[in-house]
Structures are given as C-alpha cells and as structure tokens.
Structure 1
Amino acid sequence: MFKRSPSERIMQLVIHFVLLAFALCCIYPFILTFIVSLSSEKSILFHGYQLIPEQFSTQAYRMVFKDQHIYTGYGVSILVTVVGTLLSLFICGMAGYAMSVKRVRYRNAVAMFFYLPMIFNAGTLPWYLVCTQVLHLQNTVWALILPLLVSPFNVFLMRNYFATVPSSLIESAEIDGCGVMRTFVQIIIPLSKPIIATVTLFIGLSYWNDWASALWFIDNTHLYPLQYMLYRIKSIMDFIKQNGAMGATEMPAETFQVATLFVTIGPIILLYPFVQRYFVKGIMVGAVKG
C-alpha cells in the first residue's frame, strides 16, 4: 500500500482545511439569512443581522402563506416550470441534434438563424405586440411558457455536446433500421445525460424565477406565478410603509424579503442534488467541444 510522506500528509491537511473554510464561507450567508427570516422585525431594526437574534418570530412566514393566492401561485409556477422545461428541452435538443449532424444540409444557415438573436433583437415593443396581437397570449398560461421556450445558448450547448457522440454509433443505428427520431431517443439521449441535466437546470431556473412575463401579459390573479405574487405583496408592503399607514411599523418588511427567498428556492434546492453530478461535465463539454 502506498504510504504518504509527512510533507504530503501536511499538504493534504492544508488542502482539506482550505476547502472546509471555503465551504463554511459559502454556507454561512445561507444560514444567516435563514435565521434572519425567523427573527422579529424589531430585533433586525435595532440590532441588525445576527446568528442569535434577540427575538425569534415566524410572522414573516405567516404573512407569506396568509394569502391563499400563494398556493395558487405555487401551482402555476410548478405547472409552467414542468411543462415549459419539457417542451424547451425537446425543441432545443432536436435543434441542437440537427445542427450537430454534418450531413444535414444548411445546418450552418440554421446555426446562424439561432445565433443572430443572441446579438440583435427587435426590442421590447415589437416582442410585446407579436405576443399579444399575433399570438394572442395575453391572460393565458402559454404567455408564461412560449416567450422562454427556445434559448439559443441552450441550443448551442446541446449541439456541441451531441457533436462529440461518435458518428459510427448513429450510422450503426441507421443500418439496423432506426429512423431519425428513434436514433435520437434511444441512442443520443442516453449518451447525453450530463448536458441534458445541465440544460434542464438552466431552463427550470429560467421558468421558476420568471416574473416579468406575468407583469407583461397576465391580469388574471389565478394565473399569477409565485414569483410575481410575492413581488406584488412586497410592493404593497413597501407602499404601506412609505405612506405611514397604521401598523406599518409592525410589518416585517426586512424579514419578509428573506422569507420569500426561502419560499421560492425550496424546489430548486430539492432539484439541484439530482443534477449536480452531471453539471460540471455537461457545461464543460457543451461549451468547449465543437
């Protein structure tokens, strides 16, 4: 068995210590904000952020979940995130796969078609008019899905990764009688778990954190996603405090902001452990190869 020298053991201890210190530096803000969300508003105003606050309180979380529309917002956000992620992953994957096959005609022209919107765009007003006057998305759940459906960045990430799959595998599948769709589903997808997991995380985060689409297109309170619902509550609280309404000093403005953070990131925290082992490999290969 290989035996390390004293200098190697010391170096290993130093590396472990540095990594542990770095991990604690990353975890500390998360723990601090969680404790702040359970602190009373007065203790925050008079003593600032503390790991051991003067007084604990769950008022911020009670205010978050007091409005029944919060639960509706959770349902809308989950629906939009799941449906939008699956559709976007399918479309970006098919587009990336088509551009990765060298014998496909005009694949460079298609790549340029996806590349140009990354540099130029028509502006907010034409985009809004197309969504409302042409596609008639206003006050529909599709208004929260379609505007974010295709991301050129994700398409190129997937294209670059698919290009690393040996062409001999695709040719063997075609000789055995597989069509394009069957080859993509049974050959390409199983070999591309890292990039699929990485892009799934990117797309899911985009849909989950999106509140601007609801601001532009949604007037029906039953279609408000969670992020926009919390944004509205926060705006109302700020308005009440700025105008000195009765009881405004008792409202947990500071702790409410932190509480909403944990309310919104909960599903993402549960999702990330399942994809993090693929994340580094997917983003490195997808960004460098090709």
Structure 2
Amino acid sequence: MTPEALDTHRQSDVIDPARASAMLALLGRAGGVEPGAELPPFFHQLYFWDARPPQELGRDGHPRTGIGLIPDVGLPRRMWAGGRLRFHAPMVAGVVAEKQSVVESARHKTGRSGPLGFVTLRHEIRQHGALCVTEWQDLVYRDDPAKGQPRPVPPDAPTGEEHATDVTFDTTMLFRYSALTFNGHRIHYDESYAREVEGYDGLVVHGPLLAQLLMLMAQDTLGPLRGFAFRATAPLMHHETATLCRKGHALWVRGPDGRQCMQAEAEV
C-alpha cells in the first residue's frame, strides 16, 4: 500500500440543522439545533456522506477499498479502531463546510490472529475558510475469524471513576445512527451477518457512537473540548448495558462483565 500515490479527496456539505437536531433526539437530549448555532463536538460525522452505487459496495455494506480514497488492503473485515481530534473552532449549523481527506499512512502487519491492514485517514474541515476540526481516523482490516479460533481477551476496565452513567442500546438506536451517518456496515443492523460471517455475539454498537457519548460526557462535566482521543478495545453488543466512566480527563466504556470496550482522553 502506497499512500503517496493516492489523491486528496474533497467534499462540501451544508451543515443541515435538521440532521443535528435528529442526532440530539437519537441521544435523548432535549432541544434542537437552529441555523447559526454551534454544533456539539463530533457532530461532523453526520455530514459528508460517501454515497456509492451498489456495485461499488463490498459484502459488508461499506464502499469497497481500492475504488476511492482507501487503498485495497486485500482483507474483508473493517473496524474503526480509534481516532484523534483537534477542535480549532466550533462548527456552525446552516453554513457550508469543506472537508479535505488524505491517507496519512497505510501498512500491513502480521498479528497473532493473522494479517492486518492499518490505514490512518486525516480529515480537515473548514467553514468560511477557517479550520474547525482536524481528525485522524484509524481503521483496521483483518481476515474472517477461523472456526474454533479463540477470541482475543479484552482488557479489564478501570474502576474508581468520579462520574459514571449507564447506557443501553437497541436495534432502533443502531439503525437510526447508521442512517444519520450513512454507515452501511452490516454488523450494526444485520444480525445474521454479524454472527455468521464476522463472528460477533450480536449487533455491534458503533465505535463512533460510543466515542460520541464519551465526548458529550467530557464536555458536560469538564467544559468545551480542545481535543479528544479514543481507542476501541473490545466490541459492545446491542443487548448489553454499558457504563460510561470518567476520572479526571480519562474516560472509558465498561461492559456489563467488567471488560473495557473503549478508552479515551479529553483535552479542555
């Protein structure tokens, strides 16, 4: 994989207040978003859809690698492993925004579970020419799980949090989040595919949705964010109750069995 050979991808989108209001409703938050209002952190995920025709999709519902910005990694399973964000200025609803994306790195590696592909995208989002958000998105690609192959042992989540909130999920919430972010990944809405092809115990809660919840917790309890970094450490299923935790600037998602599903760090 040679990221140097890849083009920069540019998009523009009107930051529709109705879409941001729908996201607040999905999250159970009161109020709406009016034109001219500042967006909550990470709400740019609702915009800049990469809408591809059916013939350009992979078996998992995502756009196939090798036909757009992301190089062909030769591996079928995609995971959003984590990311980092810098919030330079608030994004404003009702205003056109421009997004520029590049492949910052792309490499292969062999792990205990077999070959892996690592791709890091860098996105820059501007309004009126001013930089609002820089985001690094870390993607991992891997083979299908082999029959009888043991699953990775997830880390134990920390305890001793200063602030904690239990959250639940269901198929409707996952569907609505997929629709708002135009995420066609079948692990979030096709349970037979998630179980039989990718080897999960049910529908997978979106990693970015968990990151979104942690960011809002950080902003609610610490104040406006200047930066945020997160890493997924274990999948969370749609039928599980999770606990969002914060201690200082460290945040994490704890599963019902005590495993750590995500860890994060907020900068204010």
The TM tier, using the shorter chain, reads under 0.3
Greater C-alpha Rg: 1
More strand by proportion, 1 or 2?
2
Q: Tell me the TM-score normalised to structure 1 length.
A: 0.19
Higher relative contact order (CA 8 A, sep 6+): 1
